[in-house]
Amino acid sequence: MTDRVRGVIIAGAFAIAVISTVIDGIGDGFSVWNWITIACGAFLIPYGIALARGQRSTRRTDTR
């Protein structure tokens, strides 16, 4: 699997998770777990986008 595909999957999955968490929080009040999920998504969505754009890589460059 290429980094581009990994990035799209990561960004898409966490976008869905954040959207559903926000909808859940609006419906019955935000809990600590809602905020933790949103915070994780706030980090992982941009990471997935960076992978998809080729700005980051999951490949090791160290040959030791």
> Could you tell me if residue 59 is inside a domain?
no
Domain with 30, as residue range(s), is 3-53
User: Which amino acid is located at 55 in the chain?
Assistant: Q
Q: Pick from 36, 35, 40: which is nearest to 10 by CA?
A: 40
> Could you tell me if residue 61 is inside a domain?
no
In which band, very low, low, confident or very high, does the pLDDT at 1 lie, cut at 50, 70 and 90?
confident
pLDDT, the chain, mean? 87
> Could you tell me if residue 60 is inside a domain?
no
C-alpha 34/C-alpha 31 separation (Å) is 5
pTM for the whole structure:
0.76
Q: How many CA atoms lie within 13 A of 60 on its CB side?
A: 3
Residue 61's pLDDT is: 67
> Could you tell me if residue 41 is inside a domain?
yes
What's the total number of domains in the chain? 1
